Amino acid sequence: MDESHGLTVALIKLGGSVLTNKSRLRSFSETEARRLALEMKEFISRSRYHRLVLVHGGGSFGHIRAKKYNLSAGLREESQLHGFAQVRNDMRDLNSKIVSILIESGIPAISFPPETFLRVHGGRVIKSEAGLLEKCVGAGLVPVSFGDAVIDTRQSFSILSGDAVMLSMSSMVHPSISVFCTDVDGVFDSNPRLSANSRLIPRLRESDRVSTDATGTDDVTGGMGGKLKFLFEIAHNSGRTVVLNGLVPLRLRETLAGRDATSTEVVPTRRRPGKKASRRSGYI
Ligand code: IPE
């Protein structure tokens, strides 16, 4: 599903750090959500062939309790069950808040939990079903999926990141553009939270070598190394792939309009057969 089918699909991840205050349990950033909804509404209003597919992260509705109960590791002891139930419920609560705001902003958004179209085994997506997603996007509805506490056929449950959901969706809808809205300007050559000298990388190529320092993070879904891997895989399925600061007004709107905005463009390179990809990292 792409321009050759007459549709221009924008696949957008609204990061948990944009929609929530990541350090305060279940604190929702309603103002940011409303502003981003209007920026996205402009995109679908511009053409009847424009389509949106959305994914949001967990932020403080997901990561805090997922870490406390060690949910990524799967079921190990009974005490985790309560935590799993809470995170699953909190993510539906966050999703419902976001979908409500999108609908109020004039976007025909529908909740699209990952288990509607994905099966997870050992923390990884092993099966996907594109039919429902294609129908709903084709009709003009806007599916809103999310990183979630999911049933796992190997380890009873696990945490599936919004980035993993983005990857699966990108392989199904082949977006014209995939956008990651984060709380920093893009991918940096070193951690911008730790170093004043870190520089934004405007175009990040798969062959680029950037700093590989480790960062301390509370994220339960893989940290920076994992994120970059997803970014490049998603870039292989997308026309353009952009990482931008969703907290700065108009960056998303300008990017969706094809105009320049401060960001990182992720540029995949075709790998030569038999050649191993070099190690790379960076910071969002
Ligand atoms: C996390 O998804 C989902 C849960 C912890 C339940 P993400 O890892 O994509 O969330 P953010 O965007 O980093 O907050």
Nearest to 57 by CA among 147, 189, 155: 147
229 phi and psi, to 5 degrees?
Answer: -60, -45
pLDDT at 275: 40
Q: Give the type of residue at 105.
A: S
Ligand 1 touching residue 265 (CB < 6 A): no
Residue 225 to residue 159: CA distance in whole angstroms: 17
Residue 157 to residue 150: CA distance in whole angstroms: 6
Ligand 1 touching residue 143 (CB < 6 A): no
Instruction: Name which residue sits closest to atom 8 of ligand 1, judged by CA.
Output: 161
Higher per-residue confidence, 2 vs 225:
225
What pLDDT band is residue 3 in, cutting at 50, 70 and 90?
very low
pLDDT at 134: 96
Give the containing element (helix H, strand E) for 230.
Answer: helix 223-237
Residue 105 to residue 30: CA distance in whole angstroms: 13
Closest ligand 1 atom to the C-alpha of 91? 6
233 phi and psi, to 5 degrees?
Answer: -65, -40
Instruction: Name which residue sits closest to atom 4 of ligand 1, judged by CA.
Output: 62
> Which runs of E-coded beta strand occur in the chain?
8-14, 50-56, 109-111, 118-121, 124-128, 142-146, 148-152, 156-160, 177-182, 203-205, 240-245, 264-267
pLDDT at 269: 84
Higher per-residue confidence, 126 vs 217:
126
Model pLDDT for residues 149-199, shown as the tens digit of each residue: 999 999 999 999 999 999 999 999 999 999 999 999 999 988 888 888 899
CA of 274 to the centre of ligand 1 (A): 34
Dig out the tokens for 226 from the structure: 């994992």
Ligand 1 touching residue 161 (CB < 6 A): yes
Helix residue spans in 69-198 (DSSP H):
79-104, 131-139, 162-173
pLDDT at 257: 98
Query: Which pTM value belongs to this model?
Result: 0.92
Model pLDDT for residues 197-219, shown as the tens digit of each residue: 899 999 999 887 666 454 445 56
pLDDT exceeds cutoff 60 at 37: yes
Which of 61, 221, 224, 227 has the most ligand 1 atoms within 8 A of CB, as the residue to mutate?
A: 221
Residue 125 to residue 129: CA distance in whole angstroms: 11
CA of 221 to the centre of ligand 1 (A): 7
Average pLDDT of the chain is: 91
Strand order in the sheet with 156-160: 124-128, 118-121, 148-152, 156-160
Dig out the tokens for 27 from the structure: 């604190």
250 phi and psi, to 5 degrees?
Answer: 80, -10
pLDDT at 279: 33
Ligand 1 touching residue 94 (CB < 6 A): no
Ligand 1 touching residue 62 (CB < 6 A): yes
Ligand 1 touching residue 159 (CB < 6 A): yes
Ligand 1 touching residue 114 (CB < 6 A): no
CA of 174 to the centre of ligand 1 (A): 22
Closest ligand 1 atom to the C-alpha of 15? 12
Cα 147 to Cα 47, 89, 217, distances in angstroms: 29, 12, 17
Q: Give the type of residue at 205.
A: R
Closest ligand 1 atom to the C-alpha of 14? 12
Model pLDDT for residues 234-277, shown as the tens digit of each residue: 999 999 999 999 999 999 999 999 999 999 999 998 754 444 43
